[in-house]
Amino acid sequence: MNIFDLEFIGIACGNYRKSKNIPRHIVADKTGYTEQMIYKFEKGDSTNLPIFLWYIDMGLTFEAMEHYYNMMFVYNKSTGEYMKVKIDE
């Protein structure tokens, strides 16, 4: 994995957000961007430094990025939370 690859960064950030049960709209509110922009960033389709810095401010480290890149989550509608279902390490 290359930590400078946009897809790697976006997926790692999205999985970090999900692991903390932070809804996408909260990231949008805190950064001043739309949920669509956060979605694009988390898919690796956007190079938005302020969004990335929000994740860093929230505790995401470069060391943890590969770990979060490899996580897979599923949304549980009954609890309203994301649940970790698999980690490829």
- Is residue 53 scored above 70 in pLDDT? yes
Q: Would you say residue 39 lies in a domain?
A: yes
Residues in Cβ contact with 84 at an 8 Å cutoff, skipping those fewer than 6 apart = 19, 71, 72, 73
**pTM above the 0.85 mark?**
no
Residue 47 lies in a domain: yes
Cα dist. 15→7, 63, 65, 73 in Å?
12, 14, 9, 7
Tokens, residue 47: 């190079």
Q: How many CB atoms lie within 10 A of CB 56?
A: 12
Q: How confident is the model at residue 4 (pLDDT cuts 50, 70, 90)?
A: low
Expressed as residue numbers, the domain containing 61 is 6-87
Residue 21 covered by a domain: yes
Higher pLDDT: 50 or 81? It is 50
Rounded CA separation 84/89 (Å):
14
